[in-house]
Structure 1
Amino acid sequence: MARAFPAVRMALAAIVIGALGACTTSVRNHGFTPSDEDLSTLQVGKDTRATVGNKVGRPSIGGLMADSGWYYVQSRWESRGPIAPKEANRQVLAISFDAQGRVEQIERFGLEQGRVVTLSRRVTDNGVTKSGFVSQMLGNVGRFNPNQFFGDNSRRGRL
């Protein structure tokens, strides 16, 4: 019995250490935004898309239109134990270009400027029915037109 007590203490200590380890904050970083030092090399009205790409790199996200701006997005997610991850920080850097492809404006947005967008759950009907082979064959019984299948016989034999 005297030997069982230290084993119980060791098991209990391992459980406590494991439980405390599970409560530590786990951090995940996603994306990339150029630093302020890199952005200081850009000149509004002078730099083009090509020079911006060479100086700070091309973004992974572009605007919907071909000639719209570039968007650099970086986010930091933190999770603690079994609690769902929460976004702790988000930075969006928007570089817009004018009609000649030169830098027009550089803006930085944070998590506080973000808005939640509710997505619609409606689904468009695709018109596909779940019918089997036999029901499809029986459904086409009255629709058969031999002229469409064999072609127009009035043209046969003519050169």
Structure 2
Amino acid sequence: MRVYKRLVVGAALLGAGLVTLSGCASIKDHRGYLVDQALVDSVQPGIDNRQSVERALGRPTYVAQFGEPVWYYVAIDTRQAAFTRPRPYQETVLKVHFDAAGNVSRIEKTGLEKVVRLDPDHHKTPTLGRNRGFLEDLFGNIGTVGAPGMGGGAGGEGGGGPNGS
């Protein structure tokens, strides 16, 4: 009977450990264009035009609105561990440049090397002016609301409204 209890407790602990470890598995996700290298290689500068590129690669993720006509095909792969934000581990940006006649002039392929990671400073936005402390923020406006010349209700020189009323 004692061996049976140990076996049940051991199985329960093993099951709890497996459940705990399964929560640590990372989640992989793909967003955007599915890159098929054979199709990308089939697009040739000087030979293909917008219509043939759309037939081969599909509609672009987005199109440049200004300057040189460029079609962008964007793909990103992310990993996410439990209780964390998704982190990109692979990114592909395929840029198809067109000339004025609508023919492919060049093709560029970039990845994560062009991505900039920004780390905000303590979740604060830097602003111009002086840094005020908590008490100054709390009590800083005492006496300024309605003071003479400040456009409030007390005071006397004209109204404080936008039209002087």
TM range, normalised to the smaller chain? 0.5 to 0.7
Alignment partner, residue 147 of structure 2: none
Contact 1:97-1:105 within 8 A present in 2 as well: yes
CA distance in 2, matches of 1:67, 1:56: 20
Contact 1:25-1:81 within 8 A present in 2 as well: yes
CA distance in 1, matches of 2:76, 2:21: 26
Alignment partner, residue 81 of structure 1: 82
CA distance in 2, matches of 1:25, 1:6: 31
Q: Which of the two has higher C-alpha Rg?
A: 1
CA distance in 1, matches of 2:119, 2:10: 52
Contact 1:77-1:87 within 8 A present in 2 as well: yes
Segments of structure 1 that go 5 or more residues without pairing to the other structure are: 123-138, 144-159
Alignment partner, residue 148 of structure 1: none
Structure with greater helix share of residues:
1
Which residues of 2 match residues 66-145 of structure 1 at below 5 A? 68-116=69-117
CA distance in 2, matches of 1:33, 1:66: 27
| Amino acid of the structure 2 residue aligned with 1:55 | A
CA distance in 2, matches of 1:112, 1:50: 30
| Amino acid of the structure 2 residue aligned with 1:40 | D
Q: With structure 1 as the length reference, what TM-score do the two structures score?
A: 0.65
Give the 3 Å change call, closer, same or farther, for CA 8–90 of structure 1 in structure 2: same
Question: Aligned pairs, how many?
Answer: 129
Contact 2:35-2:75 within 8 A present in 1 as well: no
Q: Deviations over 1:40-82 (max 9, x none)?
A: 2222122111110011211122212396211011111111222
User: What fraction of aligned residue pairs are identical, expressed as a percent?
Assistant: 27
Give the 3 Å change call, closer, same or farther, for CA 118–98 of structure 1 in structure 2: farther
CA distance in 1, matches of 2:84, 2:119: 23
In structure 2, the residue corresponding to 1:40 is in which secondary structure?
helix
Alignment partner, residue 50 of structure 1: 51
Structural RMSD (CA): 3.1
Contact 2:73-2:94 within 8 A present in 1 as well: yes
Contact 1:27-1:77 within 8 A present in 2 as well: yes
Q: Deviations over 1:118-150 (max 9, x none)?
A: 99x79xxxxxxxxxxxxxxxx9xxx9xxxxxxx
- 1:27 CA drift (Å): 0.5
2:54 counterpart of 1:40? no
Segments of structure 2 that go 5 or more residues without pairing to the other structure are: 127-160
